[in-house]
């Protein structure tokens, strides 16, 4: 091919070799495509190029790097390249290309003949007439617009028939391949789904995999692969890239709860914890004065979306749950039911009764049976959300919208609800709190703020929410406060502060022992007559949250019995006087127990003879209650005797005396020869004892120590 013009060679940078570049027209001839197609491939990064200034002025000129395509290599022949490309388009494409070339030549000859007879008729009209005439017998004849497009492509490619091929079905011609091997597609899908790489990167990796391992895979262009990737349902793509939870949250169908007129306020409350996305100085009671993020525990009425109670804490636990619930009960009465989380703080034994045993046949026994929960004693029915189903509660989006978006984001110390949303200047702001400069630390403290200052602002926000119009299901634009006031249940049950204080006390079911009840390693009430009568039975013991020296005793019907104080407690290093004082207390308790009225015994108690007679009567009465024995039927089978064999001689026993035996003439040598001839009889020979007895193992024989 011809070299670059001198004007373009001068425009090249000095470190580039002009032999490695060609202009757009030369590239179009070599590739058998139009100059427009070459420019599009350059913009699509399919061909490497340099943009140099136009010596004649105007738009910059593209110089194609011959090294970006083997068909553009220096010394490549346009005819050879076009022949190879023409061979790749397939027989069907070649037949269509030849047919259009013949149609184009016939149309040109028809237009030339028509011009000779009528020079005034426009060429477009003559061509359209000719194409319509040919289309009557051949439906494959293109329309006038397609004819012009293909003719222009054929003209710009300098007569190359490759320009007439459908590039969407040919690989290596700047278009895409219709064939996408299944193995190649599965490889692309697996790598793309299991990683966070972009589709462009995975496509390049696929091409490298095919070339490196010499795989016989056919792959279309990148645009075709991306289109096929988009044809996969979006839900499947999200699940493969982001996980199952992302699909469930955004694409799977969900259940919609109905909150209509049949559902009144106080029928059900919901509660959950939420960590505030604010960092502030913890100056609340019990705080350490350091930056901290507190937790918000909220109770929400389901029908009206009214916030009935809320509390801040340094960490969610069952105490916070019970305290916030009692706040709501004290202010708005007792609800009929609650819908709470599955966490151990909400499902604690003291609050909701704990978890049911996995095996219903397991009987925990009376000693392990827990006391009645707060919900049970107040008549509240607890319902638990599905495990890992936080989206089923109304309070979750309330925390996300009103607390996170409307409240937390208004503070300079906003931390973000996830690491991706963390503000960049937060670390610098917290670092300035410990700055040596008093001015810098004071400025940072003013931005961060204190929780004692944020707490009233949170209260005002919740009040504003309760009075704001709500567009939720069943709200019809009314405010939560109006709905809660108008549709609250009429027979509302209430509880006084003393009752709630009693329910909040920690309660255990314990057995009364010799020294009373044992709580935390200490005994209580060993000197009380009320517990002496219940020794061996179970009682309910409630602990005082302030005083550790007293507990409150109730019976199993939750009726108050007495207050029990520490009993029998004595220091290990007690003096003699202290021991005497403790002994006096013990003796007083013993006397008190003896003073209890014993049960009187009968004067004429039955003796041993009468007791035996009563036992015999009991046995006879039990025997009469047993059913009469019935003998099972017997199947008697005849016994066949075999014919007796020949009579065998019966062995005779004969007594002999010493005179019947004569002295034997057999010597020891004869015995040894007989034993050698019959080795199987050696085992029956009596072994001679050794000359000296072997040493005894005293440890192996337990009786050896008693031998004499």
Tens of pLDDT, residues 101-134: 888 889 888 888 888 887 788 888 888 888 988 8
Task: Give me the domains of the chain, ranges plus CATH numbers.
Answer: 182-250 (1.10.10.60), 269-356+367-411+449-486 (3.30.420.10), 423-448 (no CATH), 505-595 (no CATH)
Give the other-Cβ count within 10 Å of 706's Cβ.
Answer: 7
pLDDT for 693 beyond 50: no
Instruction: Kindly report the average pLDDT of the chain as a whole number.
Output: 78
Look at residue 682 and tell me whether its pLDDT is greater than 60.
no
CB 321 within 8 A of CB 271: yes
Cβ count near 663 (within 10 Å): 4
Do residues 206 and 192 touch, judged by C-beta distance below 8 A?
no
Q: What is the distance in angstroms between the CA of the first residue and the CA of the last residue of the chain?
A: 124
pLDDT of residue 300: 94
Q: What percentage of residues in the chain have a pLDDT greater than 90?
A: 17
Residue 390's pLDDT band (cuts 50, 70, 90): low
Instruction: Report the pLDDT averaged over residues 84-94.
Output: 68
pLDDT, greater one: 42 or 490: 42
Query: Stretch 424-448: mean pLDDT, rounded?
Result: 84
With beta carbons less than 8 A apart as the criterion, state whether 173 and 165 touch: yes
Between helices 234-242 and 182-194, what is the axis angle to 10°? 50
Interval 243-297: pLDDT, tens: 888 888 888 887 777 766 677 888 899 999 999 999 999 998 888 888 999 999 9
Cβ-based burial of 32 (10 A; exposed 0-12, middle 13-18, buried ≥19) = buried
Comparing 302 with 69, the larger pLDDT belongs to: 302
pLDDT confidence of residue 694: 46
pLDDT at 466 over 90: yes
Q: Judge contact between 489 and 264, C-beta under 8 A.
A: yes
Read off the pLDDT of each residue in 226-238 and give the average, rounded to a whole number: 91
Which residue has better confidence, 532 or 335?
A: 335
Burial classification of residue 21, based on how many CB atoms lie within 10 Å of its CB (0-12 exposed, 13-18 middle, 19 or more buried): buried
Residue 64 has pLDDT above 50, yes or no: yes
* Residue 84 pLDDT grade (very low, low, confident, very high; cuts 50, 70, 90): low
* 345-349: long-range contacts, CB 8 A cutoff, minimum separation 24: 345/273, 345/316, 345/317, 345/318, 345/320, 345/321, 346/271, 346/318, 346/321, 346/384, 347/384, 348/318, 348/321, 349/373
Lowest mean pLDDT among 240-254, 378-392, 419-433: 378-392
* pLDDT computed for residue 357 by the predictor: 61
Range with the poorest average pLDDT among 309-323, 404-418, 670-684:
670-684
How many Å separate Cα 334 from the centre of its chain?
Answer: 35
pLDDT greater at residue 403 or residue 646: 403
pLDDT of residue 111: 87
At residue 703, does pLDDT exceed 60?
A: no
Which is more confidently placed, 474 or 599? 474
Is pLDDT at 167 greater than 80 in this prediction?
no
- What are the beta bridge partners of residue 62? 51
Read off the pTM.
0.54
pLDDT for 581? 76
Cα 610 to chain centroid, rounded = 73
The pLDDT score that the predictor gives to residue 178 is 53
pLDDT score at 475: 82
Going by pLDDT thresholds of 50, 70 and 90, the confidence category of residue 700 is very low
Confidence check: pLDDT of 432 > 90: no
Closest C-alpha to 128, from 113, 142, 109: 142
Highest mean pLDDT among 52-66, 160-174, 565-579, 621-635: 52-66
- Report the alpha-carbon distance of residue 515 to residue 589 in Å, rounded: 10
């Amino acid at each position: 091919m011809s070299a670059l013009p001198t004007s373009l060679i001068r425009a090249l940078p000095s470190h580039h070799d002009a032999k490695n570049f060609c202009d757009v027209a030369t590239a179009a001839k070599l590739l058998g495509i139009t100059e427009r197609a070459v420019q599009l491939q350059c913009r699509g990064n399919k061909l490497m190029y340099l943009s140099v200034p136009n010596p004649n002025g105007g738009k910059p000129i593209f110089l194609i790097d011959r090294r970006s395509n083997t068909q553009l290599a220096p010394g490549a022949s346009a005819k050879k390249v076009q022949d190879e490309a023409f061979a790749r388009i397939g027989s069907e494409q070649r037949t269509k290309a030849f047919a259009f070339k013949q149609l184009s030549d016939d149309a040109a000859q028809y237009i030339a003949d028509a011009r000779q007879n009528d020079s005034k008729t426009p060429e477009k009209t003559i061509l359209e007439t000719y194409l319509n005439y040919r289309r009557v017998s051949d439906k494959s004849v293109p329309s006038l617009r397609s004819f012009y497009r293909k003719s222009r492509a054929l003209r710009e490619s300098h007569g190359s028939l490759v320009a007439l091929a459908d590039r969407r079905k040919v690989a290596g011609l700047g278009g895409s391949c219709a064939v996408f091997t299944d193995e190649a597609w599965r490889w692309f899908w697996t790598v793309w789904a299991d990683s966070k790489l972009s589709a462009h990167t995975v496509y390049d990796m696929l091409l490298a995999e095919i070339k490196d391992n010499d795989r016989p895979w056919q792959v279309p262009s990148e645009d075709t692969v991306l289109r096929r990737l988009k044809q996969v349902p979006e839900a499947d793509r999200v699940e493969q890239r982001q996980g199952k939870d992302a699909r469930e949250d955004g694409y799977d169908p969900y259940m919609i709860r109905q909150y209509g007129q049949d559902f009144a306020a106080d029928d059900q409350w919901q509660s959950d914890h939420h960590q505030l996305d604010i960092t502030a100085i913890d100056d609340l009671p019990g705080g350490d004065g350091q930056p901290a993020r507190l937790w918000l525990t909220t109770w929400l009425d389901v029908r009206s979306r009214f916030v009935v109670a809320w509390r801040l804490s340094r960490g969610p636990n069952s105490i916070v749950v019970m305290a916030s619930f009692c706040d709501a009960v004290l202010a708005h009465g007792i609800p009929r039911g609650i819908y709470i989380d599955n966490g151990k703080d909400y499902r604690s034994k003291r609050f909701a009764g704990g978890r049911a045993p996995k095996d219903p046949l397991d009987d925990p026994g009376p000693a392990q049976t827990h006391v009645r929960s707060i919900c049970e004693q107040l008549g509240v029915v607890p319902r638990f959300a599905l495990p890992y189903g936080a989206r089923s509660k109304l309070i979750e989006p309330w925390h996300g919208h009103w607390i996170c978006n409307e409240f937390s984001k208004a503070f300079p110390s906003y931390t973000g609800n996830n690491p991706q949303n963390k503000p960049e200047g937060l670390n610098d702001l917290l670092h300035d709190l410990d700055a040596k400069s008093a001015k810098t630390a004071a400025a940072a403290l003013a931005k961060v703020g204190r929780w004692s200052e944020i707490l009233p602002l949170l209260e005002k926000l919740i009040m504003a929410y309760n009075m704001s119009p709500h567009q939720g299901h069943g709200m019809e634009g009314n405010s939560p406060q109006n709905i809660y006031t108008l549709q609250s249940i009429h027979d509302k049950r209430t509880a006084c502060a003393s009752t709630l204080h009693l329910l909040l006390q920690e309660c255990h079911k314990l057995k009364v022992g010799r020294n009373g009840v044992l709580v935390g390693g200490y005994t209580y009430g060993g000197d009380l007559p009320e517990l002496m009568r219940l020794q061996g039975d179970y009682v309910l013991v409630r602990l005082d949250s302030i005083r550790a020296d007293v507990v409150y005793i109730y019976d199993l019907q939750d009726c108050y019995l007495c207050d029990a104080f520490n009993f029998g407690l004595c220091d290990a290093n007690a003096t003699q006087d202290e021991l005497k004082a403790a002994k006096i207390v013990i003796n007083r308790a013993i006397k008190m127990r003896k003073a209890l009225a014993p049960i009187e015994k009968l004067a004429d108690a039955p003796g041993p003879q009468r007791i035996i007679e009563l036992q015999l009567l009991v046995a006879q009465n039990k025997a009469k209650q047993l059913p009469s024995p019935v003998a099972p039927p017997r199947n008697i089978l005849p016994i066949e005797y075999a014919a007796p064999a020949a009579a065998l001689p019966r062995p005779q026993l004969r007594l002999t005396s010493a005179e019947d035996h004569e002295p034997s003439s057999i010597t020891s040598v004869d015995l040894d020869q007989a034993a050698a001839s019959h080795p199987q009889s050696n085992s029956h020979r009596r072994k001679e004892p050794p000359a000296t007895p072997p040493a005894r193992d005293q440890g192996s024989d337990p009786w050896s120590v008693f031998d004499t």
